[in-house]
Every structure is written in C-alpha cells, then in structure tokens.
Structure 1
Amino acid sequence: MKHQQAVFLQEMGITHWQVRKPALFKTEQTLKQLNLSACKLLVVCTEEDAKHELMDAIINAFQIKSDQVVYCSLAQFENQQGNLPTLIWSTLGEIASSPSHQLLHSPSLAELATNAAAKKVLWKQFCAYQ
C-alpha cells in the first residue's frame, strides 16, 4: 500500500493491517521499513544518485548532517508506513505526498551536475520552505 493511501485510511480511522510473516512475501523482504526516527531529510533516489559526489555538497548546502539523511527507492517510499520527515527530496521527479510535507524535486544528480538552471530551481524550492 502506498504511503499516501495509508495516511488517507488512517485519517478515516481505518486500521492498517500488518502482515505477520513478511518473510513469506519476497516484495516485503526487499521493501523493509525505514528507520526515520532521527531523519530530517528523506531522499527518494536511485543508488547512483545516493552515491553521486554532488549529493554530499547539496546536503551540506542544506545544512543537514549526513546522519540525519535517509535514502530510499521509490518503491520503499511508497511502501513506507508511519510518519515521514517533513522534508522530502526526490531526484526522480515529482512524487505524490501529503500536503503537510515539504516536497523538493529535481532531475537526477548526473543531470543536475550539468544544469545550472535546475540547481537554481532546487535551491529556490529549499529556500521557500525555510
């Protein structure tokens, strides 16, 4: 179930069911719940973007410590249950999220590295929420 669907059901007072034995389902094994307890920024991206050299520079510019950042795939994000951090950044384009979240979106970091206008747009989105 997508996160937005779970939030919608929760707002309606409908209990979310948990699978007792997730090991029986292969997709449940690959989409483990993220530990977001100390997370200030959730980055929805590919593995290549998470490891890109520009990522650390952007996180530093946002003045967020690296241990307060969690990286996940789009499938993990959509499968995530519970509360998400306020600030979410997607390098996969726009994603659906609750209006209570501050959602930043940009192209992939390989494209962002060569596109000054896209960097400016990302920075303006970040500054709008600060």
Structure 2
Amino acid sequence: MAHTELQYLQEMGIDAWQLSHPERLQGFQVARFNLPTTCQLLLVSNELPTGELAVMFERVLKSIKLEIDQAQHVYPEQLSALGEHNIAWVWYAGEDAQMSETLSTKKLTTPLLSSINGHNEHRRALWQQICSYE
C-alpha cells in the first residue's frame, strides 16, 4: 500500500496493516467453491434477497426465462473463491459488488435490490440491460 493510501486511511481513523513477512503466505490458496451445474445466474450482492426482494428477484429471473433454483447468491468477497461454474449471467447489485473481469458472461449492474424495488427508473435500466442481450 502506498504511503498516501496509508495516510488517507489513518486520517479516516481506519487501522491499516501490512504483512511484515509476506513470504510466509507463499503457497496459501483460498478454498474454492463450485456452483451447481444447474446455476445459470449468479447474484453478487451484500444484500441477500428475502421476502419481498426475493419475489422481485424471481420476477426478474422469469423475465430472462430462468427459475429461482437456477440462481445463486454470493457476497462480493466470496466471488474471488468461485471455482467451476456454468453460469450464463452475473448480476452485480450494489456499490460493493465489484465486477470480475475473469467471468465472461452476460453482466447486469444495478443498485441494491432494495433500491430497485418500487423505483421505476432503476427497474427500467435493469430491463434495458436484459434486453441488450436478446
């Protein structure tokens, strides 16, 4: 981390740590997880769709001809541990859901699901993204 980044974090009151012996981590591998072969859409978001949001999520899935059991949710920090998959779509929802350039799929980027639900402008933008792949 550069000195200015450390200084900036310090000014914000955030502790920053640097490894004094990074060579000790050589060979460390993050445990990978594989998605079921039936998974076609991966939702990357800090917000797990439940209740009303799950209903909205399922409606969006149906619009792209997918069922709820063909979708999976992961938190943004889990994305780097993604192993084997057959996904056709990745939906990045929220500011914390950084896009992965390694996934060559159809990509959707939106605010959090809670921001889309009930907001026509956000729903329209999502629909336009979906239609761009058809």
Tell whether the structures are fold-level matches, with TM greater than 0.5. Answer: yes
Is the 8 Å Cα contact of residues 90 and 105 (structure 1) preserved in structure 2?
A: yes
Deviation at 1:61, TM superposition (A): 2.0
TM-score by length of 2: 0.64
**Which of 60, 63, 68 is matched with 1:61 structurally?**
63
2:35–2:84 CA contact under 8 A, matched in 1: no
Q: Shift in Å at residue 128 of structure 1?
A: 0.9
Native 8 Å contact 1:33 1:76 kept in 2:
no
Map of 2:109 onto structure 1: 105
Aligned mates of 1:113, 1:123 — CA distance in 2:
13
1:118/1:56 CA distance change after superposition, 3 Å: same
Aligned partners of 1:90 and 1:119: how far apart in 2? Answer: 14
Please give the TM-score of this superposition, normalised by the length of structure 1: 0.66
**Greater radius of gyration (CA):** 2
Paired residue type of 1:36: P
My pick for the range that moved more, 103-112 or 50-59, is: 50-59
Residues of 2 paired with 1:69 and 1:95: CA distance?
Answer: 18
Aligned length: 103
Q: Give the 3-state SS of the residue equivalent to 2:59 in structure 1.
A: helix
- SS of the residue corresponding to residue 85 of structure 1 reads coil
- Cα-to-partner distance string for 1:69-98 (whole Å, 9 max, x where unaligned): 111111111221234512111112451323
**Match for 2:129 among 120, 125, 130?**
125
Partner of 1:9: none
Between Structure 1 and Structure 2, the one with more helix by share is: 1
In structure 1, distance between residues paired with 2:86 and 2:75: 14
Percent of aligned positions with the same letter in both sequences?
17
Aligned counterparts of 2:28 and 2:130: Cα–Cα separation in 1 = 35
Residue type at the aligned position of 1:110: S
- Greater shift, 75-84 or 62-71, is seen at 75-84
Contact 2:56 2:117 in 1 (8 A): yes
The answer for unaligned runs of 5 or more in structure 2 is: 1-26
